[in-house]
């Protein structure tokens, strides 16, 4: 059995821009494999959190604990983006006390 406090079951795919952040979630299968769980949600262009919640709620096989883990991770990334959107960054390192986020940065456009 996995220890969900220290090992994330989800990979957050990120598109980072000065005007938006796009986030999609993949589920990690075994150690080196992952598969798409959601589409991309772009914030603040749309209310991605509500759309993501609706998509997760449409998956009756998912445990509520898993849905909460994903929504909390999404929120952490949004907050990190808000704090760092005006900085020229090359890596994204959101921190969480109870969630170890695995992120895959697909693209960063933070240069003026």
The CATH code of domain 10-109 reads 3.30.390.140
> What string of DSSP letters covers 39-75?
--EEETTS-HHHHHHHHHHT-TTS-HHHHHHHHHHHH
Query: Using an 8 Å Cβ cutoff, are 29 and 35 in contact?
Result: yes
With 0-12 / 13-18 / 19 or more C-beta atoms within 10 angstroms meaning exposed / middle / buried, residue 32 is exposed
Q: What is the pLDDT of residue 110?
A: 58
Provide the residue-wise pLDDT of the chain in tens; the chain has 112 residues.
344 444 668 999 999 888 899 999 999 987 789 999 999 999 888 888 899 999 999 999 999 999 999 999 999 889 888 988 887 766 655 554 444 678 777 777 755 5
Cis amide leading into 44 (omega within 30): yes
Residue 37 CB coordination number (10 Å): 19
Q: What are the extents of the domains in the chain?
A: 10-109
pLDDT value for 92: 59
Query: Residue 62 phi/psi, 5° resolution?
Result: -85, 140
Other beta carbons less than 10 A from residue 81's beta carbon: 20
């Amino acid at each position: 059995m996995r220890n969900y406090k220290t090992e994330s079951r989800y990979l957050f795919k990120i598109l980072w821009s000065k005007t938006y952040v796009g986030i999609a979630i993949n589920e990690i299968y075994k150690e080196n494999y992952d598969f798409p769980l959601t589409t991309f949600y772009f914030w603040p262009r749309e209310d991605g959190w509500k759309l993501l919640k609706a998509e997760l709620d449409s998956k009756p096989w998912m445990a509520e604990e898993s849905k909460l883990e994903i929504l909390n991770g999404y929120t952490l990334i949004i907050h990190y983006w808000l704090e760092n959107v005006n900085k020229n960054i090359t890596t994204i390192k959101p921190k969480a006390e109870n969630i170890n986020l695995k992120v895959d940065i697909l693209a960063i456009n933070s240069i003026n």
